[in-house]
C-alpha cells in the first residue's frame, strides 16, 4: 500500500473519530456549577478545549489506521468473512 493511500485513510478516520469523540469529556455549566448565559442551551459545554479534542482524535485515528494497515497486510478479515448471506 502506498504511503499516500495510508495518509488518505488516516485523514478519513481522523475526521470520523473527531466527530464521534465530540460528546466525550465535556461538562455542562450545570455540572461545573457555573452560571449560564441567558438563552444558552442546557447541553452547551462549559469549556471546549479544541487542542485536547484534536489530540485525542489523532491518537485514536492513528491506532485505527495502524489496525487497518495491519489487516491489509496480513489479511485477518477478508471480504469473504463479511459475506453473511452465503
- For residue 43, what pLDDT is reported? 85
Which pLDDT does position 21 carry in this prediction?
96
- The whole-number mean pLDDT for each consecutive block of 10 residues of the chain, a chain of 86 residues, reads 96 98 90 89 89 97 98 93 89
Task: Write down the pLDDT at residue 86.
Answer: 81
Q: 10 Å Cβ neighbour count for 56?
A: 16
**Do 53 and 18 form a contact (C-beta atoms < 8 A)?**
yes
pTM of the model: 0.84
Enter the C-alpha cell of residue 69.
494497515
The rounded distance, in Å, linking the Cα atoms of 13 and 56 is: 13
10 with 65: CB under 8 angstroms? yes
- 32 in Cβ contact with 48 (< 8 Å): no
- pLDDT on residue 77: 94
Amino acid at each position: 500500500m502506498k504511503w499516500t493511500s495510508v495518509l488518505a485513510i488516516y485523514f478519513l478516520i481522523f475526521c470520523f473519530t473527531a466527530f464521534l469523540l465530540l460528546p466525550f469529556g465535556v461538562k455542562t455549566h450545570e455540572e461545573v456549577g457555573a452560571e449560564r448565559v441567558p438563552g444558552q442551551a442546557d447541553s452547551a459545554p462549559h469549556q471546549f478545549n479544541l487542542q485536547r479534542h484534536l489530540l485525542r482524535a489523532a491518537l485514536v485515528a492513528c491506532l485505527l489506521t495502524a489496525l487497518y494497515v495491519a489487516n491489509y497486510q496480513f489479511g485477518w478479515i477478508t471480504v469473504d468473512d463479511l459475506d453473511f448471506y452465503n
